[in-house]
Amino acid sequence: MTLEILTADALAPLRHGFFTRKGGASSGIFKGLNCGVGSSDQAEIVAINRARVAQAMQVAPDHLLTLHQVHSATAVVVDGPLEARPKADAMVTATPGVALGILTADCQPVLFADPEAGVIGAAHAGWRGALEGVLEAAVEAMVGLGAARDQIRAVIGPCIAQANYEVGPEFLDSFMVDDPAHAQFFANGEGDRMLFDLAGFGLSRLRAAGVGRAEWTRHCTYGDEGRFYSYRRATHLGEADYGRLIASITL
């Protein structure tokens, strides 16, 4: 089956994509293009999936770089194959021939580019990382490599939409302590439950960071099982594990 790759005009002309689960070699609960080395899927099958992504990105498999994501606000600069995956949630480069890869299954995969400066970035932004500043860290790291803040374009890929992101009072409190204005990203749910707008929050942080253009592809991972993996959906279904989607960009 052919890979399905979602792209954004904002990131043109750079090669990039938010890959769906279609076209992969995994089976069972991982059926499709599971690129998560941290999943319990067969390692050799995950390697096949990642090799397919690398081929689509026109780089060697060892030049498709991913991180040991830990829901941090840490951004690193990379310039070639990694001996070990850094514990970080964003990476940037000005080196052609490497593809930055971010893994998600409801969190925001965010791809960045300043094509004129020849600087790109990628970030994994769940609620915690976004709240702590991972998107701003990615922007700052890009500026450090020569990107112009107001020329940076940022696109949020498939993530869980507000209608499916139910949270409790403690979650809301975490945001309100940081800034009472964060109330705008919450809608009333049933009882004491709230619905959190993760992508809206991400867009707000990106715009406040001064990027020239920020947008969301408007795909919901939870609501489209045929195309996307979802941690929350897998949890609700009582599944033992879940696949990881990959998003990637290269110069």
Helix locations, the chain, DSSP H:
43-56, 127-132, 134-144, 169-178, 198-208, 231-236
pLDDT in tens, 7-34: 999 999 999 999 999 999 999 999 999 9
pLDDT in tens, 148-171: 999 999 999 999 999 999 999 999
Residue 186 has pLDDT above 80, yes or no: yes
pTM exceeding 0.95: yes
For residue 108, what are its two tokens?
């925001």
90-93 vs 75-77, strand pairing mode: parallel
Q: What is the predicted pLDDT for the residue at 170?
A: 94
Sorted by where each starts, the structural domains of the chain and their CATH numbers stand as: 5-250 (3.60.140.10)
